[in-house]
Amino acid sequence: MLQLNSLDLKNVGEVHHNLSTPELYEEAIRRGEAMMGHLGPLVVSTGKYTGRSANDKFVVREPFTEDQIWWGKINKPFDPADFDKVLYGLRSYLQNKDIFVQDGYAGADPNYRIKVRVISEHAWHSLFARNMFIREFDPEVIAGFEPDYTVVHCPDFQADPEQEHTASEAFVLLNLDRKMVVIGGTSYAGEIKKSIFTVMNYLMPIQGVLSLHSSANVGVDGDSAVFFGLSGTGKTTLSTEADRALIGDDELGWSDQGVFNYEGGCYAKMIRLSDEAEPEIYQTTRRFGTVLENVTIDPESRRLDLTEANTENTRGAYPITHIDNIAEGSMAGHPKHIFMLTADAFGVLPPIARLTPEQAKYHFISGYTAKVAGTERGVKEPQATFSACFGAPFMPLHPTVYADLLGKKIEEHDVKVWLVNTGWTGGPYGVGERFKIAHSRGVIKAAITDAFDGIDFVEDPVFGFEVPVECPGVPTELLTPRGTWSDPDSYDTKAADLARLFVENFEEFREMAGDNLVAAGPNV
């Protein structure tokens, strides 16, 4: 029998350990957690929480790690005594309740992987974990599986903010010393995978591995490419190409041997997904094993309507094997190109720009984009934001630690770095239009195939990066944002506003980043 003594979980009900996908379907449907959609996906609702709850995430402050953590508004400290109170409540709550346990790995490279155990009160969350972590198929290994880190996930258990000093009834508490994550009050499954991503972002730099909040793919010639970006910027969409093998869509590491996926699955946005624009991802919504969160479903025909939902952040979690063209072992060599994706709500940035190594580090630390509606609670429409390393909520170390690793690897492997705007053109959000996926694919393809070689670039007078004057398959007028605005003077005003935001945001990092990086920013 599975031993849970290390967590001091006693008197629990039936323990469902590493159930198969069909078994988890049966349990989830029998318990009223989900329904099966047309052609096989499991459809669930996450209730009140349809995105990450950033204000409810804390890191336990203890002597083992406190000198290493980047404390502040991102990594908020949590008292160890309060952590024990929450854990005590969870143990009491789980008495006589059935639990579901899934074991797997984070990290496709055996040299850097960790063993993860996810304990949840819901069958569908166990299926989510089964999809998102890398599976172990050897029965002997599974029988002796001892986790490095454990996630205890009880969405129906609510904290008492007055007694336990959480921010609300929901909580995501990371205890690096005890190698444990406890989550409660929220059914949003993304909290499970992102908590372990945070763990990897703490562990990997110590071993010289750069953690990437990115997707990656590789061509037939072994030319891998990395796509940085926050949720909603197009990481999954733009890295999923029929003629390039997918390495991973969200969380990766870059070691001395190359890039590797942390995950065994993908977690893609589903709102307004179409077979025409994103055929590979669309087909996963018609597959057994896919978990669909908050999508609209007809209760009788069980057919999906991906055009409408009660949240912009509808999601699909599916095994990476649901994608036809994937990289063997979810690993590849060093990237030749890096794309920093941003959904610019100001409509100021060009669809693609070439960055110097110093500019690459500057934009990496800045992590400018727009929060997409529904990705976090309270966000109703895109908002300009800066998120260090294109994933500050998951970076427990200071951003310059990751930036220095990035700069070192760019120099060692002669990587070309590009800034790609998947946001708005012709004006800001509400006035302009969002770039078509086809145009974003077009500029990326041109970069990967070296189609920009021999084409002239011009330096942007405000941001200093270089912009191509033409691109195969993309309308030339889109390449120069100022020309897409009906009022060029209004563009100049917005560009200056955005430049000031960059400079103001970077003040936090100025001292540790140094003068060279500060000079790589925009001119104000």
For the annotated catalytic residues, the residue numbers are 52, 194, 213, 231, 235-236, 250, 315
How far apart CA 452 and CA 157 sit, in angstroms, is 54
Rg (CA), the chain: 23
The alpha carbon of residue 147 and the mean position of all alpha carbons in its chain are separated, in whole angstroms, by: 23
How far apart CA 214 and CA 64 sit, in angstroms, is 29
Question: Cβ neighbours of residue 229 under 8 Å, at least 6 residues apart?
Answer: 213, 214, 215, 235, 340, 341, 342, 369, 390, 422
Angstrom distances, CA of residue 243 to CA of 246, 249, 278, 335: 10, 16, 13, 17
Which DSSP symbol is given to 474? B
How far apart CA 417 and CA 117 sit, in angstroms, is 36
**Following DSSP, what letter does each residue of 234-255 receive, concatenated?**
SHHHHH-BTTBEEEESSEEEE-
| Angle formed by the axes of helices 488-506 and 357-366, nearest 10° | 80
User: Shortest CA distance to 485 belongs to which of 346, 341, 344, 342?
Assistant: 346
Block residue for tokens 């909290």 = 191
Residue 113, token pair as written in the block: 């992987």
Question: Cβ neighbours of residue 300 under 8 Å, at least 6 residues apart?
Answer: none
Residue 206, token pair as written in the block: 């110590």
By the 8 A CB rule, do 226 and 360 touch?
no
Residue 430 amino acid letter: G
Which DSSP symbol is given to 150? E
How far apart CA 226 and CA 334 sit, in angstroms, is 9
**Following DSSP, what letter does each residue of 84-98 receive, concatenated?**
HHHHHHHHHHHTT--
Residue 166 amino acid letter: T
The alpha carbon of residue 435 and the mean position of all alpha carbons in its chain are separated, in whole angstroms, by: 21
User: Shortest CA distance to 104 belongs to which of 141, 64, 77?
Assistant: 141
How far apart CA 137 and CA 118 sit, in angstroms, is 17
By the 8 A CB rule, do 337 and 495 touch?
no
User: Shortest CA distance to 388 belongs to which of 399, 376, 372?
Assistant: 399
How far apart CA 291 and CA 289 sit, in angstroms, is 6
By the 8 A CB rule, do 59 and 396 touch?
yes
